[in-house]
Amino acid sequence: MIEVIVTARNNQAEDICSFELARADGAPLPAFTAGAHIDVHLPGGLIRQYSLCNPPWETHSYLIGVLKDPASRGGSQAMHEQIQVGQRLSISEPRNLFPLRENAQHSLLFAGGIGITPILCMAERLHQLGAEFELHYCARSADRAAFVERLQAAPFAERVQLHFDDGPAAQRLDAAALLANPDPGTHLYVCGPGGFMEHVLDTAKTQDWDDQRAHREYFTAAPVSHDNDGSFAVQINSSGQIIQVPADQSVAAALEASGIEIQLSCEQGICGTCLTRVLAGEPEHRDLFLTEAEQALNDQFTPCCSRAKSPLLVLDL
């Protein structure tokens, strides 16, 4: 855990604020790579993940961008309403679940709304490497697009295309045209709201993009229906203990009720913090963290949200 102080707070767009964080003791922060995020521990015990969007060679501060989400479960609201310059916060060391393939021949970066944050960092890094890339940034309107001034003033500004939903038809995102050439040397990166990501990734799929070259990071999970949730059991491999998971409880909650604590963070299947190995049984994957291929192996799952198709899952705990 690192103690930081908020050294700057700026409005970047409608409902989007950036926060600059520097170490409280004045020492440099740990180095990070493009696509990395930190956990921010908020007053009241909430933990939220935010991508780092400053250039990845900076260690004097971290920059995060936070969208005030009307469907906030408390995190973005707390950031916007309670966190001012001078506030002390605890953060984790950076972790990267959305790494850049730095030796790709070409990189296609797609950002939707607040999804610009990790993508911006990737663009900085690709420019530093002298690599070929293009960045497509989509927002509902110009006033909801964050970091536009920085993008327009960047040395890679000519590689950036802005697409606004309320703008002329000619500037709207044409994913089918942009993804028409699934060249094996090109890697695709997508970050933004669920509908935007689905659109880009589905388009990539229909154009025969290899899933291994279509990299993604979700911010929030789509609402899931719990109407058909059933009960099942999990077995702790080390002790043999069997724990029932009722229909209205997550595996993580059932484990906790039996005194077995799993480290949690997003609790929505996005961050991978709770990833647990499965030794037997078939999970019902509900996360957005594992790729389809990884899910198909059925050898790990996210107990914060995923369930079971088989009556019993044996967990490597």
Q: Which residues bind ligand FES (CB under 6 A)?
A: 264-267, 269-274, 287, 289, 302, 304
Token readout for 75 is 């995190």
Closer of 76 and 302 to ligand FES (Cβ): 302
Residue closer to ligand FES, measured from CB, 47 or 123: 47
- Cβ contacts of 269 within 8 Å, gap of 6 or more: 221, 286, 287, 288, 289, 302, 304, 305, 306
Contact yes or no for 38/50 (Cβ under 8 A) = yes
- Comparing CB distances to ligand FES, the nearer of 235 and 276 is 276
Least Å distance, CB 196 to ligand FES, is 21
- Give least dist CB 306 to ligand FES, A: 8
Angle among Cα 18, 91, 256 to the nearest 5 degrees reads: 125
Nearer to ligand FES, 124 or 267 (CB): 267
Q: What does DSSP say about strands 300-301 and 186-192: parallel, antiparallel, or unpaired? A: unpaired
Q: How far is the CB of 278 from ligand FES (least distance, A)?
A: 14
Beta strands in the chain (DSSP E): 2-13, 16-23, 37-41, 47-51, 62-67, 88-91, 106-112, 133-139, 160-164, 186-192, 214-218, 232-236, 242-245, 276-280, 283-284, 300-301, 307-308, 312-315
Residue 71 C-alpha from the chain's centroid? 17
Q: Residues 54, 121: contact at Cβ < 8 Å?
A: yes
CB of residue 270 to ligand FES, shortest distance in Å: 6
Q: How many whole angstroms separate alpha carbon 290 and alpha carbon 72?
A: 24
* Least distance to ligand FES, CB of residue 217, Å: 12
Nearer to ligand FES, 148 or 243 (CB): 243
Closest approach of Cβ 90 to ligand FES, in Å? 18
What's the min distance (Å) between Cβ of 91 and ligand FES? 17
Closer to ligand FES at the Cβ: 255 or 271? Answer: 271
Residue given tokens 């709304």 in the structure block: 113
Q: Indicate the helix (H) or strand (E) that contains 121.
A: helix 116-129
Measured from the CB atom, the residue of 76 and 273 that comes closer to ligand FES is 273
